[in-house]
Amino acid sequence: MQEVKHADELFKDFKAQSISEFFKKNAAMLGYTGKIRSLTTIVHEGVTNALDACEEAGILPDIHVRIEEQGNEHYRVSMEDNASGIPLRFIPQVFGRMLAGSKAHRNIQSRGQQGIGVSGAVMFSQVTTGKPTTIYTSTGKGPIIKALVQLDVKKNLGEILEKEKIANKWDWRGTIISLECKNVIYNKSRYSPYNYLRMTSISNPHSRITFIEPDGTRILYERSTNLVPEPPKPIKPHPHGATPDDLITMASNTAKKNLSQFLSHEFVRVSSPKALEVCKSAGLSDKMNPKRMTWEDAESIVKALSSIKFFAPPTEGLRPIGDEEIRKGLESTLSPEFTYTITRAPQTYRGGILFVIEIGLAFGGKAGRGGVELIRYANRAPLIFDQGGCAMTDAVKSIDWKRYGIRDIEKAPLTVFINLVSTHVPYTSAGKQAVAYEEEIFNEIRNAIMDAGRALSKFLSGKRRLYEKKSKMNTLLRYVPETAQSISLLTTAEKDGISEALERIINEKYNMIVEDEEEEPEPQESEETEGEEY
Binders of a copy of itself in range 39-98 (CB under 8 A): 53, 56-59, 84-87, 90, 93, 97
Region binding a copy of itself by CB under 8 A among candidate stretches 104-112, 270-278, 312-320, 505-513: 104-112
Which C-beta is closer to a copy of itself: that of 373 or that of 386?
386
- Contact range with a copy of itself by CB under 8 A, out of 191-199, 291-299, 317-325, 329-337: 291-299
Residues in 431-460 that interact with a copy of itself by CB under 8 A: 431, 434, 436-438
Beta strand 353-363 with 338-343 is antiparallel
Residue 2 touching a copy of itself (CB under 8 A): yes
* Segments of 463-532 assigned E as strands: none
The distance of closest approach from Cβ of residue 144 to a copy of itself in the complex, given in angstroms and rounded to an integer, is 13
**Of the residues 1, 167, 255, 490, which one makes contact with a copy of itself according to CB under 8 A:** 1
Q: Where are the beta strands (DSSP E) in 370-491?
A: 373-378, 381-383, 414-422
| 29 near a copy of itself, judged by CB under 8 A | yes
Q: For residue 422, state whether it binds a copy of itself (rule: CB under 8 A).
A: no
The site string for a copy of itself over 376-415 (x = CB under 8 A, - otherwise) reads: ----------x-xxx--xx---------------------
Question: How far is residue 95's CA from residue 195's CA, in Å, rounded to a whole number?
Answer: 25
CA dist., res. 71 & res. 51, Å (int):
30
Say which residues have a Cβ less than 8 Å from residue 311's Cβ, sequence separation at least 6: 269
Q: Which residues lie closer than 8 Å to 298 by C-beta, 6 or more apart? A: 244, 245, 247, 248, 251
> How far apart are CB 14 and a copy of itself at their closest, in Å?
5
Question: Cβ neighbours of residue 523 under 8 Å, at least 6 residues apart?
Answer: none
**Stretch of residues binding a copy of itself (CB under 8 A), selected from 292-300, 327-335, 374-382, 398-406:** 292-300
- The answer to whether 119 touches 180, Cβ cutoff 8 Å, is no
Q: Which amino acid is at 410?
A: E
- Cα separation, 519 vs 529, in Å, equals 21
Nearer to a copy of itself, 57 or 477 (CB): 57
Q: How far is the CB of 163 from a copy of itself (least distance, A)?
A: 17
Query: Sign of dihedral through CA atoms 468, 472, 477, 481?
Result: positive
By the rule CB under 8 A, 130 interacts with a copy of itself: yes
CA distance 334 to 331: 5
Site for a copy of itself in 225-284 (CB under 8 A): 228, 230-231, 243-245, 248
User: Residue 84 or 526: which CB sits closer to a copy of itself?
Assistant: 84
Q: Which of residues 471-530 bind a copy of itself (CB under 8 A)?
A: none
Nearest to 291 by CA among 261, 324, 258, 245: 258
